């Protein structure tokens, strides 16, 4: 069962998802995959060559990056890492896939292979994604935060009362059935609800899990332990819909890159109404920034084919009750002769790469290839290339390549920064948590 499919695209999407999940099953090693009673969440960013637009089955898929994960690090670790940039602060699947895509872009520049996917635009001195490519994001769950609130009484606009009543009835039925099982209750409440915390006055509220389901607000990621400072995936994806997924530093070399289509696979056991869920995705990612964004992505929802995908199909079952502590980031590296993918396995609640010893935790040895520390090194290497900005090279002259310089360059006035600041000056994004820099 699927929703918002336009004719022959159903077959095309089916082929694409089979291709991506076969890649995960066959090519991604077991060292970061869930074990036993664990589950994880999956995200992928795929370039689709639409040259054969009239023949969906002949479209070419390039899996640029994948990400898995359910964890993020706490405030205490973030404070220790501010001057270093060694750790990944957010290890949720969507963020891992996006950072892996950024690494893919850095590798393209460093290997001189941008022209395979991008055209050089002389007028703006930046690379622009070729017109025949579209960018797809594949997810195995609704993004945490605002997008997940499907069964809230405030969710549906007028004219959808029947859908709302049916959704609420389904949710109440699930909760009643699980009254005597607290672990199952916590999982069920995630179906159409969120555990992400609302932000008030630069800090999160302390309501009980899933207590406040008000829509269209910004939230911090859910989780116990030390309070995190990571915005929900719903809010981050909404930001990417305004400024692009390439980030501030890469905006010096690339025109904004937007996700064209989101393909979201829900469990066959899901009781979410697909039409209502699509409305919520549009409200959260598109409508909240309709005055700022020039891009309107499409959302496609599926309740089929997920049962044979390992680690994802039992997300809401009694057998998979704990999120995996590992996150995986995998990116296509064209610099290698065989053009293979490179994997990074991260300890989700620590932010450092797998295998890091205690004594190396606050050193460069802890940094993954997806960290700020490594990205800034790649950024400096790219500036040294002849065709790139002399202005940026001048900015770095006589400065140490450290996190202070990183933040100075990241915040310098640019179209990216202006759009981002404009977004964060308007409700609800004026509550966005700004992490302290040096």
Q: Is residue 358 part of a domain?
A: yes
At residue 407, the pLDDT reads: 85
Q: Is residue 38 part of a domain?
A: yes
Q: Is residue 232 part of a domain?
A: yes
H runs (alpha helix) in 150-296: 161-177, 182-188, 233-243, 247-250, 274-281
At residue 308, the pLDDT reads: 57
At residue 181, the pLDDT reads: 44
| 413: DSSP letter | S
At residue 26, the pLDDT reads: 87
Q: Is residue 54 part of a domain?
A: yes
Q: Which residues contact 304 (CB under 8 A, 6 or more apart)?
A: 1, 2, 268
φ, ψ dihedrals at 365, nearest 5°: -65, -20
> Which of 327, 391, 341, 329 shows the shortest CA–CA distance to 107?
341
User: Which tokens belong to 111?
Assistant: 């290997």
pLDDT in tens, 357-384: 999 988 999 999 999 999 999 998 888 7
Torsion of CA 113, 46, 287, 211, to 10 degrees: -120
Print the domain residue range for 79: 2-430
Instruction: Collect the ranges in the chain with pLDDT lower than 70.
Output: 1-10, 52-59, 152-190, 201-211, 223-226, 304-321, 386-391, 393, 395, 398-399, 436-438
Q: Is residue 435 part of a domain?
A: no
pLDDT in tens, 33-50: 988 888 899 999 999 998
Q: Is residue 147 part of a domain?
A: yes
Q: Is residue 208 part of a domain?
A: yes
At residue 334, the pLDDT reads: 86
* Nearest-5° Cα angle at 371, 108 to 70: 110
> Which of 261, 242, 141, 156 shows the shortest CA–CA distance to 194?
141
Strand, coil or helix: 91: strand
For β-strands 322-323 and 38-39, DSSP reports them as parallel
Dmax over Cα atoms in the chain, in whole Å?
Answer: 66
How many domains, in total, are found in the chain?
Answer: 1
Q: Is residue 356 part of a domain?
A: yes
């Amino acid at each position: 069962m699927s929703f918002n499919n336009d004719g022959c695209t159903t077959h095309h999407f089916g082929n694409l998802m089979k291709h991506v999940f076969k890649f995960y099953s066959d090519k991604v090693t077991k060292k970061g995959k869930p074990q036993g009673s664990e589950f994880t969440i999956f995200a992928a960013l795929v370039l689709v060559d639409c040259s054969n637009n009239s023949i969906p089955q002949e479209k070419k898929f390039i899996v640029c990056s994948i990400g898995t994960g359910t964890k993020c690090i706490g405030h205490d670790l973030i404070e220790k890492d501010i001057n270093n940039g060694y750790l990944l602060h957010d290890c949720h699947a969507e963020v891992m896939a996006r950072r892996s895509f950024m690494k893919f872009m850095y590798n393209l520049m460093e290997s001189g292979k941008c022209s395979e996917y991008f055209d050089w635009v002389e007028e703006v001195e930046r690379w622009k994604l070729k017109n025949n490519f579209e960018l797809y994001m594949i997810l195995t769950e609704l993004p945490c935060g605002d997008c997940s609130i499907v069964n809230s009484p405030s969710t549906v606009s007028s004219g959808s009362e029947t859908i709302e009543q049916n959704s609420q009835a389904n949710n109440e039925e699930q909760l009643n059935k699980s009254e005597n099982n607290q672990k199952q209750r916590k999982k069920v409440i995630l179906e159409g609800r969120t555990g992400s915390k609302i932000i008030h006055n630069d800090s999160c509220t302390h309501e009980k899990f899933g207590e406040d389901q008000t829509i269209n607000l910004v939230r911090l990621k859910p989780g116990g332990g030390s309070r995190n400072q990571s915005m929900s995936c719903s809010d981050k994806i909404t930001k990417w819909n305004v400024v692009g997924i390439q980030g501030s530093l890469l905006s010096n070399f690339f025109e904004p890159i937007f996700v064209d289509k989101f393909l979201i696979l829900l469990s066959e056991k899901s009781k979410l109404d697909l039409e209502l869920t699509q409305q919520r995705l549009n409200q959260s990612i598109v409508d909240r920034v309709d005055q700022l964004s020039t891009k309107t992505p499409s959302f496609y929802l599926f309740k089929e084919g997920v049962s044979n995908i390992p680690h994802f199909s039992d997300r809401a079952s009694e057998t998979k009750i704990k999120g995996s502590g590992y996150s995986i980031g995998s990116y296509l590296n064209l610099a290698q002769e065989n053009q293979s993918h490179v994997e990074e396995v991260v300890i989700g609640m620590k932010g450092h790469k797998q295998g890091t010893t205690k004594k190396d935790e606050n050193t460069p040895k802890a940094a993954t290839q997806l960290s700020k520390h490594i990205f800034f090194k790649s950024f400096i290497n790219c500036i040294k290339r002849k065709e790139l900005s002399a202005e940026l090279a001048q900015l770095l002259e006589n400065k140490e390549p450290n996190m202070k310089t990183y933040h100075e360059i990241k915040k310098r006035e640019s179209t990216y920064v202006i759009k981002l600041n404009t977004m964060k000056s308007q409700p609800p994004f004026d509550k966005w948590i700004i992490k302290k820099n040096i």
